[in-house]
Amino acid sequence: MPVKFDNDDDDNQSHAVVDIYRCQGKKGDEVDCEVDPIDRISTDLLIAADGTSRTIANYMEETDQRERKSMNLIQRLFAGKPFSVTRYIDDNRRVYKSIPMKLPKDWRPDLNYSARSKDGGMNIDALPANRDGSYCGILLLKEDDPMAQANVDPETLRGFLNEKLPQFSSMLDDKVVAQVAKKHPSFLPSFRSVGPRLNQGDHILILGDCAHTVKPYFGLGANSALEDVSIFSDCIDDSNENMIDAVHEFSRRRAKDSETLVRISRELDRPGILGTVTFIIPIILDAIFNKINPKLFAPNIISMLQRDDMTFNQVARRKRLDRTVQVAVLASLMTGATWMAKFVVAAIAKAIGRRSSTVSLVLAGITAGMIYSKKSLTQYLNSDMAPADVLAKMKSPITEDGETLEKDVKA
């Protein structure tokens, strides 16, 4: 943990000062480290890329809180917003177990293979570990699923795999199945973001998961971390290798994007009705409006996030504009439809000699029944289903070019 961010030495130069501790390994969920540091180092540039542990980010937050408490009211007014870590509550927790597997020789060893159950309760993604067909499979389950527990009966797990994943079960021998059954589940990371800056002074910056932690559903975790590195490299070049300027420029370019990335990713992972409002309905609206007028309306947000010519913040602004225009168009159509409906109801009521209110109730009931009977809509309103699960139910691709590198197999 850093013990001092800036330290004036004899040459009057500032550095990041860090204590080094010897750690012995994990005991349960905690790392066992010695109380006293074994060394102290000073560096001109400290890049915090410690992932979800975010040791440096947490210390930056604590430091700003201490400094702010020591300020008077006037100083606080002009000090600006303090650095903080936004810790979102995970209302859609999933766990996973890793599964080593070897592909048959007639399967391509350069693809991502995936399968998802129809009820959204299970999905597996298998990624290549090498070019020889060795793969690492990630079995993603709900936290309370019996297969997600430790020390599952191997025969029970084998039966589950045979039923849900027969195409993968045949690749796993009994030894591997027993190892997976015994494993404790691991948790996907919870959404976290930091802000309003990504630096502390002139010599410390944070990037990657410790700045913007997301779940790995849409490839935005590792890819955005690599993008951080690329942008910082550009900042170094643009500042003529002046590292102090590069640190501040990186924070200026990337801080808002980091917060926006986490916010968007979380909206794509909300469960049940909330997920329908923040993910499913916007996806459907984008598909309709983009098809009608692709020059005016942009593709859905997942496709937009894959574009390398727009920042995450620019994507968010563009989708807000799209949503505003879409709502205006729908409101106009609904207003017109309301007037038309009133005219039709009045005409029917007059023709059959009934009151308009009676005709309205009958037509509303018929319409509601027709909507409820459509599985294409009601399947997305399952309160136990996360929006990420809905991707398995989409009949058409949601990426802009309509292509995918996955070989999807529906379980």
For residues 12 and 243, the model is more confident at 243
Question: 94-187 adopts what CATH topology?
Answer: Alpha-Beta Plaits (3.30.70)
CATH 3.30.70 in the chain, residue ranges: 94-187
Q: What rounded mean pLDDT belongs to the chain? A: 82
- Express as a percent the part of the chain with pLDDT over 90: 36
pLDDT tier, 328 (very low <50, low <70, confident <90, very high otherwise): very high
- Measure CA 328 to chain center: 29
Report how far residue 345's alpha carbon sits from residue 7's, in angstroms, rounded to the nearest whole number: 79
Indicate the pTM of the whole model. 0.77
Given a cut of 50, whether residue 314 has pLDDT beyond it is yes
Q: Which two tokens stand for residue 349?
A: 């009521």
Residue 303: per-residue pLDDT: 87
Residues 109-121: pLDDT tens digits? 888 888 887 766 7
Residue 24: per-residue pLDDT: 57
From the list 172, 180, 185, the residue with the least C-alpha distance to 144 is: 185
Residues 156-187: pLDDT tens digits? 999 999 988 888 898 899 999 999 999 999 98
Report how far residue 200's alpha carbon sits from residue 56's, in angstroms, rounded to the nearest whole number: 10
Residues 72-91: pLDDT tens digits? 888 888 888 999 999 999 88
Packing angle between helix 243-267 and helix 221-238, nearest 10 degrees?
A: 160
Burial of 120 (0-12, 13-18, 19+ CB in 10 A): buried
Q: How crowded is residue 11: how many other Cβ atoms within 10 Å of its Cβ? A: 5
